[in-house]
């Protein structure tokens, strides 16, 4: 074994193929290996491998700490492909989402990423646009990458992607959108609809309407069903279905509001199953001459940051988005480790703002 004295160690480190990131002719130098670190640290390769395979904070010996220091100085990074071949694991998780413009999903993803990184995993995000064919194509990508597990935030009624992932034998878990027969971590969407209905029934004897959005997304369906059932149990008739399958963005809420205005006499109460669509609807009501808190009372869902920042703040159902992401990731890791976690519904609560406060009660 080639051994360098301490005073010459740096010279040795930059000798030959480790001279610089690029050679004199501009070619990229060879990847730093454990053998290079072993030579610089006066250690054998097996010792270096064992040391770098452990958490840095767990190293107690001077030799081990020195190996980590040299690895840092050389810019060493492990060969994940080789590591996955040795361990039959990539420590990589795929996260499927319908789209990337959604603040709610972004916050859930932050929770997922924080939890996974804390456990030594990395994740890749695959956006499917709620297209079943794209889901299947992206699943092929995940399988080819050899992911250890998959988190699905885009589960759709009628999609074949879950049956395919089961056949592939890859551990998976649903988050945000549940489906019967599959483990999931969601918020209590049904109870959120109940809370919205109870609140709006206290405010008006007029029509009670709900914008259902997409009927292939079970979380939205559950919110609508909680609202509708509660209204009916009180002997009133809910009006539902406006702009069915339209979407959950501001432009969709605008279209839904126009349909509500054409269908309902003021005053009426409106439950919109997503805040972004709710903000769009609230703006359209105002532009049409309806006064929130008098002619119309509006409740959204999720409590995104913009809900409290609009000129007329939106009443909404608060859901624990980041916590949901953390719990989804930890539950998937339990499945990967051979555990059998149950589905979880996190609690929600109503926060009342100007959009559903009678004008007489507003400051």
- According to CATH, where is 1.10.260 located in the chain? 6-78
Per-residue pLDDT, 23: 42
Q: Three-class SS of residue 211?
A: strand
Rounded to whole angstroms, what are the CA distances from 215 to 188, 242, 243?
17, 12, 11
Which of 143, 153, 163, 217 is CA-nearest to residue 184? 153
Which residues have CB under 8 Å from 125's CB, separation 6+? 95, 97, 100, 109
For 19, the token pair is 């001279």
For 104, the token pair is 């709610």
* Measured distance CA(222)–CA(189) in Å, rounded: 6
Asked if 299 and 203 touch (Cβ cutoff 8 Å), the reply is no
pLDDT tens digits, one per residue of 135-194: 999 999 999 888 999 999 999 998 899 999 999 999 999 999 999 999 999 999 999 999
Q: Which CATH class is domain 189-319+349-361?
A: alpha beta
Domain 89-186+322-345 listed as CATH 3.40.50.300: no
Phi, psi of 183 (to 5 degrees): -65, 140
- The pTM of this model reads 0.78
For 261, the token pair is 């205005």
Alpha-helical (H) ranges within the chain are 9-13, 34-41, 45-52, 62-74, 80-87, 103-118, 132-144, 161-168, 189-203, 218-233, 250-263, 275-287, 321-336
Which residues have CB under 8 Å from 279's CB, separation 6+? 250, 253, 300, 306, 307, 310, 314
Neighbouring-strand partners of residue 243 = none
Per-residue pLDDT, 327: 98
Neighbour-count burial of 125, counting CB atoms closer than 10 A to its CB (0-12 exposed, 13-18 middle, 19+ buried): middle
pLDDT tens track of the chain, all 363 residues? 444 444 444 444 444 344 434 443 444 446 777 888 888 888 888 788 788 777 677 788 888 888 888 888 887 766 555 555 455 567 899 999 999 888 999 999 999 999 999 988 999 999 999 999 999 999 999 998 889 999 999 999 988 999 999 999 999 999 999 999 999 999 999 999 999 999 999 999 999 999 999 989 999 999 999 999 999 999 999 887 676 667 899 999 999 999 999 999 999 999 999 999 999 999 999 999 999 999 999 999 999 999 999 999 999 999 999 999 999 999 999 999 999 999 999 999 999 999 999 876 666
DSSP annotation of 273: S
Rounded to whole angstroms, what are the CA distances from 151 to 97, 172, 183, 320?
9, 6, 11, 18
pLDDT tens digits, one per residue of 190-226: 999 999 999 999 999 999 999 999 989 999 999 999 9
Rounded to whole angstroms, what are the CA distances from 56 to 62, 116, 119, 186, 314?
12, 18, 14, 35, 48
* Measured distance CA(343)–CA(117) in Å, rounded: 23
* Measured distance CA(232)–CA(228) in Å, rounded: 6
Per-residue pLDDT, 56: 74
Which residues have CB under 8 Å from 126's CB, separation 6+? 94, 95, 96, 97, 138, 141, 142
Q: Three-class SS of residue 144?
A: helix
* Measured distance CA(295)–CA(284) in Å, rounded: 13
Which of 232, 92, 248 is CA-nearest to residue 240? 232
Q: 146-178 burial by CB neighbour count: b if 16+ within 10 A, else e?
A: ebbbbbbbbbbeebebbeebeeeebbbbbbbbb
For 327, the token pair is 């719990």
- According to CATH, where is 3.40.50.2300 located in the chain? 89-186+322-345, 189-319+349-361
Which of 172, 113, 175, 170 is CA-nearest to residue 143? 170
Pick the CATH number of 6-78 from 1.10.150, 1.20.120, 1.20.58, 1.10.260: 1.10.260
């Amino acid at each position: 074994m080639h051994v360098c004295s301490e005073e010459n160690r740096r010279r040795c480190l930059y000798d030959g193929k480790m001279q610089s990131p690029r050679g004199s002719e501009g070619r990229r130098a060879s990847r730093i290996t454990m053998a290079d670190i072993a030579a610089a640290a006066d250690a054998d390769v097996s010792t270096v491998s064992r040391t770098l395979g452990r958490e840095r904070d767990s190293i107690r010996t001077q030799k081990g700490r020195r190996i980590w220091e040299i690895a840092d100085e050389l810019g060493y990074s492990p060969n994940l492909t080789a590591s996955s071949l040795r361990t039959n694991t990539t420590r990589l998780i795929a996260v499927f989402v319908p789209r990337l413009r959604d603040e709610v999903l972004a916050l859930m993803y932050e929770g997922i990423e924080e939890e996974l990184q804390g456990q030594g995993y990395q994740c890749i995000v695959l956006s499917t646009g709620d297209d079943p064919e794209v889901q299947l194509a992206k699943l092929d990508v995940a399988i080819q990458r050899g992911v250890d597990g998959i988190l699905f935030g885009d589960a759709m009624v009628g999609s074949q992607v879950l049956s395919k992932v089961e056949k592939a034998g890859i551990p998976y878990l649903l988050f945000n959108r549940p489906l019967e027969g599959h483990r999931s971590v969601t918020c209590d969407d049904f109870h959120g609809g109940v809370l919205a209905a109870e609140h709006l029934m206290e405010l008006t004897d007029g029509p009670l309407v709900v914008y259902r959005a997409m009927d292939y997304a079970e979380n939205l369906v559950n919110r609508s069903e909680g609202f509708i059932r509660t209204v009916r149990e009180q002997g009133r008739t809910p009006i539902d279905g406006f702009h069915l399958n339209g979407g959950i963005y501001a432009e969709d809420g605008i279209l839904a509001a126009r349909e509500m205005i054409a269908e309902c006499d003021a005053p009426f109460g409106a439950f919109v199953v997503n805040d972004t669509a709710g903000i769009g609807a609230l703006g359209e009501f105002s532009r049409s001459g309806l006064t929130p808190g008098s002619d119309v009372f509006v409740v959204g869902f999720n409590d995104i940051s913009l809900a409290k920042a609009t000129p007329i703040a939106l009443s909404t159902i608060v859901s624990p988005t980041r916590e949901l992401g953390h719990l989804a990731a930890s539950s998937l890791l339990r499945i990967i480790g051979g555990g059998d976690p149950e589905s979880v519904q996190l609690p929600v609560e109503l926060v009342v703002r100007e959009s559903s406060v009678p004008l007489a009660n507003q400051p």
